[in-house]
Amino acid sequence: KNSLDKNQLMILDMLANFDWKRPIYMTQVYILQDFGLMDYLQFDGYAYRLVPILTPTQNPYEIGRIDADYAAPLLRDTFRYGNLEDPRVYADYFIQYNLSASHSREAFATVAKELLRQNRVEEAVELLDLGLERLPTSQIRFTDANTYPFLEAYYAASSLGDETAAGKGRLAAARVCPDADRVHRILPALRRRPGRHGLRPDR
């Protein structure tokens, strides 16, 4: 590289002088790509902290390591959500946009998945339930981005022995796609047969 932008110089200066005395947090982590630091992040709920711990990125949607014992209490006890669970509170477009842009609901699922990796199933399901309680679908609608992580986590918890998790996952899926159960029942009835479009339902 033959040149550096001012924002890159600023980051280099910060890295050279902060001496780990105060944490560096970022919400837009891809600015660290040019510095080879994407694998040195820790997810703390709604921001990423630079840490001297190598965690190779396997999934672009789950960057950084997670200290579940640190992140879960932040989501559960520290962060505030403006009483969004109260149906009398009006969540306008600006609120919905900002909560979606900050991946507010996904944060619960991300930390819950780390709890599941540690076989802490009950805690994971409680955190998932809390995420839907604090950020209910009546206020913050489901989208693909903030739904799939919840479904994955609920069904993973079910596979690890939680008897209620699968039902909660199905309920969440039905809120996103009311016809999800019907489609699930129909799909096995389809098989590959010669037809005009290559697939034809059994009759």
Q: What is the pLDDT of residues 32-49, one digit of tens each?
A: 888 889 999 999 998 999
Q: Write down the residue that tokens 């590289």 correspond to.
A: 1
Find the range with the poorest average confidence among 9-18, 100-109, 188-197: 188-197
Domain boundaries, given as residue ranges, for the chain:
1-65, 68-203
- The pTM score is 0.82
Residues recorded for the chain:
203
- Whole-angstrom distance, CA of residue 21 vs CA of residue 72: 24
- Whole-angstrom distance, CA of residue 176 vs CA of residue 154: 15
The answer to whether the CB of 107 falls within 8 A of the CB of 99 is: no
